[in-house]
Structure 1
Amino acid sequence: MKTTAVACALAGLAIGSASAEGPTLTERQAPHRARAVPVVTASGNAFWANGERFIIRGIDYQPGSSGKNDDPIANIDTCKRDITEFKRLGVNAVRIYSLDNSANHDECMGLLADAGIYLMADLNSPKYSINRDDPGPSYNAAYLQSVFATVEEFAKYDNTLLFFSGNEVIYTLNTTTSAEYVKATTRDVKNYMRARGLRQIPVGYSAADISANVWQAADYFNCGSDDARSDFWAFNDYSWCNTDFVTSGWNQKVQNFTDYGIPVFLSEYGCNTNGERKFNEIESLMHSNMTGVYSGGLMFEYTMEENNFGIIEVKNGKVEELPEFANFASALSKWPMPTAATALHSTTHGVACPTSASLWEVNESLLPKMPQAAEKYMDDGAGTGPGLDGDGSQWNANSGTATTSVASGAPSPTGQGSSSGGGGGGNNGGSGNGDSAAAGLASHGMLYVSFAAAVATVMGTMFL
């Protein structure tokens, strides 16, 4: 997100199978409401709904920007107002960067579902996130409690499409070590959903458009055991500036991901440096040149903020549509979702881990161990979330930080994972496709993180 206030979260995972004593969906969490939309799952390198390919045609939605730190779907008046505009646009998904895990979202999530709109939810907020400059202390029990509470709140809705465990955490060359904590958070979130008997919603990372090491990051989040890999890869791309498929470099970016093995999409797009945006990139996103590899994207952004990306303004609580609103709606209408889009890969698979180097100072064989103080959440649940106005977690090391790294073959207190190497993966892509929840995990099982042999990764490839 193009604001400095967006913080990020960690990833990694620790799922697996263990005891069958855990809660099931039927026991803990019956379907929340009559389904207005089918559940979206990840399999191969694509998303699917009712057996049909699902392409993201969405918009980034954070009125007031992340700095204001408000949850737009916790306010029913804001929600109703903006859903009217979303329907006029024809979007099928919204991304929200700050969600209040202490609020009730039943009414707005129901209205979004009725409109055929899915939520793509960031699990972090400005107060509860990973500090990219000093990630270790910020990976603590208070942080994970907030993350898990957000998962618990939104896993019950059929139209929750996916979770972002981090956004642009790796932002400069000296912040690459934060990747280990982002990956650890993904591991913890996936393990939490299984342990708590929740629907297995895809979890992944949203990367910044930094060409120096974004390809290493892409490989890192999709390497290692199935338990330690993301379910999708997303990145924020601003290279199409009213140009075309080749001039923007998107043709090369398609080529880069032809054998990636999990869904790829743009979590932000919409360069605003070359005049009024026409959004002709939607033609390419919906074209067979891209749909075999990419699963659409989210245009940045809905409301006009200081960075001048918005397509509407809010004045005295009323929406004023700007010229780019009509441009975006027209582009979505002109280039609809393909009716017969196919994916390149029907089976999910990982890639080889990148080697540690001056531009990528990450040890591919180690992940931070989940803080011991957070283990109780696997059995007892996260409880009530701290909301957006809590004390925060970035410097709350007293809540229990990770004290060791979990290497290949070392035990983890949060479950037992598979040990398949960098090419492993099943048809479900780690997302547990389907509505039934996995059997609960014993909180003191064993996790084995087995990373693939490291290989040198691209440096000459243009990515972002």
Structure 2
Amino acid sequence: MRSIGLASSAALAVFAGLAQASPTPTEQEPPSKRASLPTVTASGNAFWQGNTRFYIRGIDYQPGGSSDASDPLADPTICQRDIAQFKLLGVNTVRVYITDNSANHDTCMNALADAGIYVILDANNPLYSINRADPGPSYNTAYLQSVFATIDAFIKYDNTLAFFSGNEVINDNATSTLSARYVKATTRDMRQYIADRGYRKVPVGYSAADVAQNRMQMAQYMNCGTDDERSDFFAFNDYSWCNTDFITSGWDQKVKAFSDYGLPIFLSEYGCIKNGRNFGEVAALMSPNMTSVYSGGLMYEYAMEDNGFGIVDIASGNAAVKELPEFDKYASALSANPAPTGSGGAASTTHAATACPTKDSNWLVDSTLLPAIPDGAKDFMSKGAGAGPGLKGPGSQNAGGTSTGDAAPGSGSATGSPKKNVGVTMAQSIDRTPFVLTGMVMVLTLTGTLLL
């Protein structure tokens, strides 16, 4: 439903921000105690919080919509106002579509953690994304630098649940399926970056559009090939319930189609507004009809926009929130249908699709090979992405530095050993020169003493 708008720029200025020897500028000290939740992992075809099955029971969150490219997690006033509402709803996860990878998110992410809420983040934004109409030029070094910088900005938080490598890039236009190779390459690159940088293994996957003619092909495509090429999960947006039931909506057939998919699946958007909204989807998602295959979903959406899906109205100036009737209906649906206990029938092992989808009139991809990572982006794996361009950078659509060919399967596997743990930035930012000089003085002093 929500698509990130495409932007272009004439050229990209040469960007810096990679580590330099000395001196290191003073940085703001992070909070002495970071809020923490048990991390969520993907295993088999489900998510797990330790040994407990984790179901996504959440809401899509982007006040102002895609037309207002702002980051709600960078504004403590906005996020804390809305976290109070999330607690009333009883959600355990929010999805944020647009974030500023140059901003500080400690206050909002810690407040969400304190409330027991995880975050799923889109790695793209309107300036840095894959262009479905012309994907090749948009898959470039500048684009990946922004994507990796977003990972750097959020992976240090224990309540970062997952990253989306793309959202609705492929739509009902068959030619848009040609961009699937670049979305999958981005997924591969993100997973390799996380591994090579020694980060916690936060799952990476794709959020597909609610398009019947290519949904299954896209799902199979994201789960075929070598291990490095496959996603950690698959999500899709589904608006077919429309206040009906499990069978009338066709959800029974989708469960059947995904019954042996081999990866976790969840709904990245749901909540049809035709025929009213009582959110019967929650009962279905938490029932034995679905839990062996699905891991919950995210209701679209929190703030009311022109499309009419919101459950709260936000007054001008972002000063106040007015709960709409659907707010209580969604809260009631969550309360009446708690997460099941036990494994919910989840599969214990992960496996790949039997084969990649073949080309047809609705799926135009005719190769299993993926574009090679652009040469200019390779150094990010060992040196890091550097400072993020944020939401006011020059953009990446036509920045140059594109892929020069196809990659050999397996080339995106992690290389070397982990270089660091999760985002301890202060230790990395300290200029070590004073310590080296102090050590030299101590050695010389000791040597002089021994010679006396």
TM-score exceeds 0.5: yes
* 1:60 to 1:322, Cα distance in 2 relative to 1, 3 A: same
Distance in 1 of aligned mates of 2:349 and 2:78: 41
What pairs with 1:297-312 in structure 2 (closer than 5 Å)?
297-312=297-312
- Secondary structure of residue in 2 paired with 1:392: coil
* 1:416 to 1:364, Cα distance in 2 relative to 1, 3 A: farther
* 1:436 to 1:416, Cα distance in 2 relative to 1, 3 A: closer
* Aligned twin of 1:462: none
Are residues 1:58 and 2:58 paired? yes
- Counterpart contact for 1:45–1:264, Cα < 8 Å: yes
Distance in 2 of aligned mates of 1:296 and 1:174: 31
What pairs with 1:32-431 in structure 2 (closer than 5 Å)?
33-34=33-34, 36-171=36-171, 172-275=173-276, 277-316=277-316, 317-351=319-353, 352-397=355-400, 400-408=401-409, 412=411, 415=414
User: Which protein shows a greater Rg?
Assistant: 2
Q: Please list the CA deviations of residues 217-248 of structure 1 after superposition, one character each: whole Å capped at 9, or x if unmatched.
A: 11000011111000000000000000000000
* Offset, 1:214: 1.0
- Secondary structure of residue in 2 paired with 1:175: helix
* 1:312 to 1:41, Cα distance in 2 relative to 1, 3 A: same
Q: Which runs of 5+ in 2 are unaligned?
A: 8-29, 423-452
Q: Please list the CA deviations of residues 270-319 of structure 1 after superposition, one character each: whole Å capped at 9, or x if unmatched.
A: 001222x1101110000011011100000000000111100001114100
- Counterpart contact for 1:31–1:156, Cα < 8 Å: no
Q: Please list the CA deviations of residues 339-389 of structure 1 after superposition, one character each: whole Å capped at 9, or x if unmatched.
A: 224343101101121112221111342100000011121121111100011
* Offset, 1:201: 0.5
Q: Please list the CA deviations of residues 185-243 of structure 1 after superposition, one character each: whole Å capped at 9, or x if unmatched.
A: 01111111111111111000000011111111110000111110000000000000000
Instruction: Kindly tell me the number of residue pairs found equivalent between the two proteins.
Output: 394
- Counterpart contact for 2:243–2:279, Cα < 8 Å: yes
- Secondary structure of residue in 2 paired with 1:385: coil
- Secondary structure of residue in 2 paired with 1:66: coil
Distance in 1 of aligned mates of 2:366 and 2:202: 27
* Offset, 1:407: 3.6
Distance in 2 of aligned mates of 1:344 and 1:143: 36
- Counterpart contact for 1:155–1:201, Cα < 8 Å: yes
* 1:192 to 1:263, Cα distance in 2 relative to 1, 3 A: same
Distance in 2 of aligned mates of 1:401 and 1:203: 22
TM-score by length of 1: 0.82
- Counterpart contact for 1:32–1:156, Cα < 8 Å: no
* 1:257 to 1:32, Cα distance in 2 relative to 1, 3 A: farther
What code does the residue aligned with 1:2 have? R
- Secondary structure of residue in 2 paired with 1:266: strand
State the superposition RMSD in angstroms: 2.0
Which one is further off, 187-196 or 87-96? 187-196
- Counterpart contact for 2:73–2:105, Cα < 8 Å: yes
Distance in 1 of aligned mates of 2:154 and 2:31: 12
Distance in 2 of aligned mates of 1:339 and 1:202: 23
Q: Percent identity?
A: 60
Q: Please list the CA deviations of residues 68-115 of structure 1 after superposition, one character each: whole Å capped at 9, or x if unmatched.
A: 011001000001100000000000000000010000001110000000
Deviating above 2 A after TM superposition, structure 1's stretches of 4 or more consecutive aligned residues are 1-7, 30-36, 340-344, 412-417
* 1:414 to 1:377, Cα distance in 2 relative to 1, 3 A: farther
- Counterpart contact for 2:6–2:131, Cα < 8 Å: no
What code does the residue aligned with 2:83 have? I
Q: Please list the CA deviations of residues 252-273 of structure 1 after superposition, one character each: whole Å capped at 9, or x if unmatched.
A: 1111111001100000000012
- Secondary structure of residue in 1 paired with 2:78: helix
- Counterpart contact for 1:102–1:387, Cα < 8 Å: yes
* 1:110 to 1:6, Cα distance in 2 relative to 1, 3 A: farther
* 1:6 to 1:136, Cα distance in 2 relative to 1, 3 A: closer
Distance in 2 of aligned mates of 1:347 and 1:32: 39
- Counterpart contact for 2:210–2:236, Cα < 8 Å: yes
TM-score by length of 2: 0.84
Distance in 2 of aligned mates of 1:436 and 1:307: 42
